[in-house]
Amino acid sequence: MVSQHENNQRLIGLYNLDYGRPGLKFTDPYETKDGSPRAHVALRELTTLWLNTGTLCNLSCDHCYIESTPSNDRLSYLTLDEVLPFLNEIEEEGYGTKEIGITGGEPFMNPEILAIMEACLKRGFSVLVLTNAMRPMMRPRIQEGLLDLKKDFKAQLTIRVSIDHFKQSLHEKERGPGSWLPMIEGLQWLSSNKFRVDIAGRTSWAECESELRKGYEQLFKEHAICIDAQDANRLTLFPEMDASQDVPEITTECWQILGVSPNDMMCANSRMVVKRKGEIRPSVMACTLLAYDDRFNLGSSLQEASHSVHLNHPHCAKFCVLGGGSCSA
């Protein structure tokens, strides 16, 4: 049976028969290789502002799109003082932002993570934190701080834990030996303390979605984790991102061909703040997936970053348009 993803690629292929050789596509911001107008996405509403709190991580995962490791500091730790101007701008300009997403690296390695979370929560934003739920999160200072935040802002706070597969062997294949049991311990701590916990899984395995959800369901039951694996909002299975794969470019005609709306793309409703190593101030990027690509650096303020984004990267096609992926809650 042909998957929806495979069918989408076939449909685009019928329209754009010559994908071109790798290296020639995704170069011109306004036209695809064959001269067709490149699809672009307007910022409809800044529903979610992402904060990348730094690329340092306690793990070195093979599949990490941002190449986070214990030594990769290409994105520096964001400080509270650097975050506050963006929160102020949201309020002053009336952007209507509802959610602050916090990612890394491993966010709980950032020395100011609790202060950043508190500042966002106090202003009424929902906060979504992406974590591996391992040692950085389980330090006593972080645990105590999280419990305090939950006490005051329980309904606003969601912790999303990455579990690459419901089997220990496959999870550790990606994240390294010894990464499973600490994650389970952290997940159990969050669940037993009644945090709202979501899970990020992956679709790169041999199983279909229903089989994956059944496997996660058994895992949650075994470890007394209160998560409904059949709820796509609680267990998100993300499409793979491999920039080396030859994927079709997205033209303006593709929206109609695929029956997909540009308003449903991440860059229609979100931006991400990063602090590149050596730079004086943070920058606003078009997408959480493209933190290093200067073509998607939109400026130093949310106002500067409010213009349209041309889909000039393989991730735009594979993850968002064809894969239907979204990092937000």
Is residue 328 in some structural domain? no
pLDDT at residue number 324: 67
d(CA 182, CA 188): 10
pLDDT at residue number 24: 78
Is the CB of residue 293 less than 8 Å from the CB of residue 313? yes
Is the CB of residue 303 less than 8 Å from the CB of residue 79? no
Question: Both tokens of residue 163?
Answer: 């579990």
d(CA 20, CA 33): 7
The residues of the chain scoring below 50 in pLDDT are 1-5, 7-23
Q: How far is CA 121 from the centre of its chain?
A: 20
pLDDT at residue number 305: 97
d(CA 235, CA 228): 8
Number of domains present in the structure of the chain: 1
pLDDT at residue number 98: 98
3-state secondary structure of 15: helix
In terms of residue numbers, what domain contains 169? Answer: 4-321
pLDDT at residue number 64: 87
d(CA 200, CA 327): 9
Which run of H or E residues covers position 204? Answer: none
Is residue 136 in some structural domain? yes
Question: Both tokens of residue 98?
Answer: 């509802």
pLDDT at residue number 328: 58
Is residue 150 in some structural domain? yes
Q: Quote the pTM value.
A: 0.89
Extended strands (E) in the chain: 40-41, 48-52, 99-103, 126-131, 157-162, 196-202, 235-238, 270-274, 283-285, 297-299, 309-310
Residue 266 sits in a domain whose CATH number is 3.20.20.70
Per-residue pLDDT tens digits for 179-212: 999 999 999 999 999 999 999 998 878 889 999 9
Question: Both tokens of residue 292?
Answer: 């290093």
Is residue 327 in some structural domain? no
b (16+ CB within 10 A) / e for 67-86: ebbeebebbbbbbbebbebb
Count CB atoms within 10 A of the CB of residue 314: 20
pLDDT at residue number 323: 74
> Average pLDDT of the chain?
90
